[in-house]
Amino acid sequence: MILMLLGCWVVPVEDDVVLEGDDAPHEEEDTDTDTGTATGCDVDISEIQPADGQTNWYYRGLVQARLSGPDETAVLEVQGVPGTSWLHENGHIAYFAPDPPLQPNTSYTADLQYCRGQTTWDFSTSDLGKPTVGPLGERVYLWDTSNGNIIRPEGVGALLEQYLEMVVLVGVVEQDEGFSLEIAIADEEAVQDPCNATVSLSTDFGDDPYFEVGPISINDTLFDLRLTGTFSEDFDRIAGITATGIADTRPFNHLMDEEAEDDSVCEALSGMGVSCVDCPLDGQPLCLEFEIIDGYANEFDATVTPTDTCLEECKQGGVCAESEVCACGGSAPAGALAVALSMMAALRRR
């Protein structure tokens, strides 16, 4: 049922369209670096991020260690780096957030203390984090949304990643005090879908090369949207893309059933262990929280045309036709929500 709900965001991605590099924030592998010898502890390390020896870690990335079972004694740090350590509420994941961020092109040692004792591993950061050089100008970036990690809602990302992919074009235009972003759904050839609305955002550039957008609300369907990212030194890519917010599920009930009730989407999600939250607009428990981290987008030769409904080439008799890429509707609310939720739907849960 969840696939019926999100099926309109399925877009096949051709290998020669999506640009990928070795600068993906997470290119982790399952690793067990347990070196402890404590008795009475049956917890193992099932995965670490960054991986041992990784050389392209994102300088603002969240360092973490996944455990095979809960361990309330687990503490993760990066040696010689100030920051905050904490455990996931289930006790299975130890986190460390550097503050201030790590330095680019620098080697570090992660240090996990847990019930078996101590284990360490080495990694180094990529070149991201260096101040940008030259003008930003006007550029377009291509984001294959399958290259990020979904944190919320928990429990559904692993299933969705098997079926859902999305191509998103991000147009960026430099302004006097920052830059604007125009986000558009694209087809399998990375051409803007003319039958869906774009999302327009703007921000300053006060922490070069890092930027933040929001919080903003869009068309009473998307609330508290926050986007962040980091430009590479020469502006040829954006990495560390994060997106958080709250989305109203009601515009998508009809994808499940033409006569669906307002709570149909949330009811389906509840069967997968996902709970909806109160919507900011009316307080009804019909909204979904999402959080995405570690996306990246490469500069791409394309054009993004802003529209709050659809482009002229999509209109039939003055009315927007149904999209062949995504039947989410041509109206601004549907288009805005489609962009946000398609990103959420396609990303991998870690």
Q: Render pLDDT for 209-253 as a digit per residue (tens, 0 to 9).
A: 999 988 888 777 889 989 999 999 999 999 999 888 998 888 776
236 with 140: CB under 8 angstroms? no
Helix (H) or strand (E) holding 5: helix 2-6
Determine the pLDDT at residue 7: 34
> What is the pLDDT, as a whole number, of residue 38?
53
As a whole number of Å, the CA-based R_g of the chain is: 21
Point out the residues of the chain with pLDDT beneath 70.
1-39, 155-165, 253-262, 325-350
Tokens of 45: 């390390």
What is the per-residue pLDDT for 31? 45
Residue 111: the pLDDT is 98
